[in-house]
Amino acid sequence: MAFSITHDQLVGIVPNAKAEDIEKYIEALNEVLPQFEVNTPLRAAHFIAQIAHESGSFRYESENLNYSDKALQAIFGKYFPTEEEAQAYARKPEKIANRVYANRMGNGNEASGDGWKYRGRGLIQLTGKDNYHRCGDALAIDLVNDPELVVADPSLTVKTACYYWDSRKLNQYADQDDLLIITKRINGGTHGLDDRAAFLNRAKQFLNIA
């Protein structure tokens, strides 16, 4: 019998998720995870723990770039070296994305609009034109010309997260129950490790993993 996650298990693992978001993703998870061999309770536990953290319990599908001037200088200081520049961009998400993501990850310059067009989307946020291109090629979908497809359909949203998971070969580390290396391969560091661990512990509880 194929492994699947029940509605009640997902509610238990992600207790702060809205009911409509649980409904939105439960069918897609059960449809898509086996396609990427996330097909054991332990693999599913690690996968769900990571996407639950990354998406704020399934609340966020697109990157929130609505920063104040102080936040811009604290987080993106090298792009906003003066208070005047930070104030000019504050609370303007599109302008912020176009500056901070310009001329990297395959994006064009600030004026190209690529930063906003290819801002982070999905449960494990896909960011930058190159990444949209690679993911689209892997899934045989044109995400470069239509990046909003990432969040247009729950099944595709889960597929893009699974693509990211698969591209970093994370099933093998899930089999080893290695939360730290999975987090580093997704986050680049250990940001939110305690929160990810809490999701993982609940996943192990509700998926009956000893």
Q: Say if residue 129 is exposed, middle or buried (CB neighbours under 10 Å; 0-12, 13-18, 19+).
A: buried
Residue 110 predicted with pLDDT over 80: yes
The structural domains of the chain, with segments of one domain joined by +, span 7-61+127-206, 69-117
Q: Angle at CA 172, nearest 5°, toward 44 and 122?
A: 50
Residue 1 predicted with pLDDT over 60: no
Segment 104-133 mean pLDDT: 97
Full-model pTM: 0.93
Q: What b/e readout covers 177-198, taking b as 16+ CB neighbours within 10 angstroms?
A: eebeebbbbbbeeeebeeebee
Straight-line distance from the first to the last Cα atom of the chain, in angstroms, rounded to the nearest whole number: 20
Contact 102, 112 (CB under 8 A): yes
Query: Cβ of 118: how many Cβ atoms within 10 Å?
Result: 26
Q: Mention every residue, 6+ apart, whose C-beta is less than 8 A from residue 87.
A: 69
Residue 2 predicted with pLDDT over 80: no
**pLDDT tens track for 119-177:** 999 999 999 999 999 999 999 999 999 999 999 999 999 999 999 999 999 999 999 99
CATH of domain 7-61+127-206: 1.10.530.10
**pLDDT tens track for 69-85:** 999 999 999 999 999 99
**pLDDT tens track for 57-72:** 999 999 989 999 999 9
Segment 183-194 mean pLDDT: 94
Q: Output helix, strand, coil percentages for the chain, rounded to the nearest 5.
A: 60, 0, 40
